[in-house]
Amino acid sequence: MKFKNPFLRLQFRRTRWRLSSRLLATELAVILVAWVAYILFGATVVSFIYHKGLIRPLETAADHPTMVAYYVERADHIFLALLAVGLLVIALQTTILRLWERARGRARTVPISSRARPIVSGRRYVILALLATVVGCSLSLGILAASNRLFVHRLAVWKELDKPSVQDLRLPALDERQVINLGWAHHPDLGPLSSYMYRSMEKPAGTYRIGFFGDSQTEGEETGPGHDYPSFLQEQLREIGEGKFEVINFGVRGYGMQQAFLMYEYLGRRYDLDAAIFMPFLWWDERDNTFMLHGYGPAIHARYVLAGDGFRLVAIDEATRRQAIENYYSLLPPAKYWRYDAHSANLVTTFARSGDLPRLNPFYYELWRGYAAELPQLYSMMFAKAAKQTKKVMVVGNDSLIESLGNSDDRGVAVLKSRLNTNSFLLLAPEAHLSALGNQMRAAEISEWITGQKLPLRVPTISDSDYRPTGEEEILSRISLTEVSDAWIEIEGRPVAGLFMHAPGDPSWRFSNKVDLGQLGIRGIIQLRGGEQLQQPVFVPADFPVQDGAPLEVRISSAGAITTMPIGTVDCVANSLCRIRFATASDVGQVRIERDGWQLEFNGYRDVSVRNGYFDGMDILVSGRPILRGQRQIRFTDLVRRLVLGRSPKLFINKFELKPLIADYLFLRAEAGHYVNPMTMRSSGPIRFGLRRKDGTVLRLGSFLQYAIP
Give the pLDDT score at 356.
Answer: 39
What mean pLDDT do residues 441-470 have?
A: 83
451, 484, 512: which is the final residue of a domain? 451
Average pLDDT over residues 14-42: 80
C-beta neighbour count of 549 within 10 angstroms:
12
654 falls within a domain: yes
Confidence of residue 64 (pLDDT cuts 50, 70, 90): very low
Q: How do residues 371-404 score in pLDDT, each as one tens digit? A: 767 888 899 899 999 999 998 999 988 777 776 7
Kindly state the DSSP code that residue 707 receives in the 8-state scheme. E
Helix ranges (DSSP H) in 585-650: 636-644
Residue 67 lies in a domain: yes
Q: Which residues pair with 396 in a beta bridge?
A: 416
For residues 608 and 634, the answer to whether their CB atoms sit within 8 Å is no
Range of the domain at 540: 471-705
Closest CA to 540 of 487, 485, 577: 577
The CB density around residue 673, as the number of other CB atoms within 10 Å, is 11
What was the pLDDT predicted at 55? 58
Amino acid 437: pLDDT: 93
Q: Which one-letter DSSP state was computed for residue 340?
A: S
pLDDT category of residue 98 using cuts at 50, 70 and 90: confident
* One domain for residues 248 and 100: no
If asked whether residues 410 and 484 sit together in one domain, one would say no
Cα-based distances in Å from 149 to 99, 153, 329, 593, 660: 36, 6, 9, 53, 41
pLDDT tens track for 232-286 = 999 999 888 767 899 999 999 999 999 999 999 999 999 999 999 999 877 888 8
- Is 46 a member of any domain? yes
Q: Is the pLDDT of residue 212 over 80?
A: yes
Domain check: are 256 and 383 in the same one?
yes
Helix, coil or strand: residue 237:
helix
- What does the pLDDT look like over 623-677, one tens digit per residue? 999 998 886 666 677 778 888 888 876 666 666 778 889 888 899 999 998 998 8
Cβ neighbour number for residue 179 with a 10 Å cutoff: 20
Pair 442, 495 in one domain: no
pLDDT classification of 4: cutoffs 50, 70, 90: low
pLDDT at 97 over 80: no
Q: Tell me, yes or no, whether 508 and 582 share the same domain.
A: yes
Q: Is pLDDT above 60 for 80?
A: yes
- In a domain, residue 147? The reply is no
Q: Are residues 435 and 484 both part of a single domain?
A: no
Q: In CATH, what number is assigned to the domain containing residue 330?
A: 3.40.50.1110
Model pLDDT, residue 46: 79
Across-strand partners of 513?
501
Number of domains in the chain: 3
- Tell me, what's the pLDDT at 218? 95
SS3 state of residue 267: coil
3-state secondary structure of 599: strand
Mean of the pLDDT values across residues 573-598? 64
Residue 594 and residue 608 in contact, taking contact as beta carbons nearer than 8 Å: no
Q: How far apart are CA 488 and CA 689, in angstroms?
A: 6
Residue type, 264: Y
Mean pLDDT of 130-141: 73
**198 shares a domain with 91:** no
Angle at 533 between CA 527 and CA 539, to 5 degrees: 15
Q: What is the mean pLDDT of the chain?
A: 80
**Residue 431's pLDDT is what?**
92
pLDDT confidence tier of residue 11, bands split at 50, 70 and 90: low
Is 658 in contact with 600 (CB distance < 8 Å)? Answer: no
Is the same domain home to 293 and 252?
yes
Tell me, what amino acid is at 164?
P
pLDDT tens, position by position, 105-115: 544 444 444 44
| Cα 685 from chain centre | 36
- In this structure, of 2-11, 251-260, 309-318, the range with the lowest mean pLDDT score is 2-11
Residue 636 lies in a domain: yes
Q: What is the pLDDT of residue 355?
A: 42
Please report, for residues 180, 267, 433, the alpha-carbon distance to residue 186 in angstroms, rounded to integers and kept in the order given: 14, 12, 18
Q: Could you write out the DSSP letters of every residue in 672-686?
A: TT----GGGS-SEEE
Same domain for 483 and 419, yes or no, is no
What's the pLDDT score for residue 358?
44
Rounded mean pLDDT, 409-422? 78
Q: Which helix (H) or strand (E) holds 11?
A: helix 6-51
Over residues 515-529, the pLDDT tens digits come to 988 888 898 999 886
Q: Averaged over 542-564, what is the pLDDT?
A: 85
Torsion 342-344-346-347 (CA) sign: positive
Cα separation, 625 vs 126, whole angstroms: 70
Residues 483 and 439 in one domain: no
Question: What is the pLDDT at residue 220?
Answer: 94
Query: Looking at the DSSP assignment, which residues form a beta bridge with residue 572?
Result: 578
Q: How confident is the model at residue 203 (pLDDT cuts 50, 70, 90)?
A: very high
Where residue 436 falls among pLDDT bands split at 50, 70, 90? very high
What dihedral angle (degrees, nearest 10) is formed by the CA atoms of 577, 581, 585, 589? -40
CA–CA gap between residue 472 and residue 457 (Å, rounded): 36
The reply to whether 347 falls in a domain is: yes
Q: Buried b vs exposed e over 226-245: b needs ≥16 C-beta within 10 Å?
A: bbbbbbbbbebbeeeeeeeb
pLDDT score of 597 more than 50: no
In angstroms, the CA 298 to CA 316 distance is 14
Beta carbons of 631 and 469 less than 8 angstroms apart: no
Percent over 90 (pLDDT), the chain: 27
- Which range, 176-190, 474-488, 566-580, is most confident? 176-190
Rounded Cα–Cα distance for residues 282 and 266 (Å): 23
For residues 385 and 488, membership in a common domain is answered with: no
Instruction: Please indicate, yes or no, if residue 138 is contained in any of the structural domains.
Output: no
User: Distance between CA 281 and CA 399 in Å, rounded?
Assistant: 9
Pick the range with the lowest mean pLDDT from 184-198, 416-430, 643-657. Answer: 643-657
- Would you say 359 and 55 are in contact if contact means Cβ atoms under 8 Å apart? yes
Residue 384 falls within a domain, yes or no? yes
Shared-domain flag, residues 539 and 621: yes
Q: What's the rounded mean pLDDT across residues 593-598?
A: 49
Longest Cα–Cα distance of the chain, Å, equals: 115
Q: Which pLDDT does position 42 carry in this prediction? A: 83
Residue 471 binned pLDDT confidence (cut-offs 50, 70, 90): low
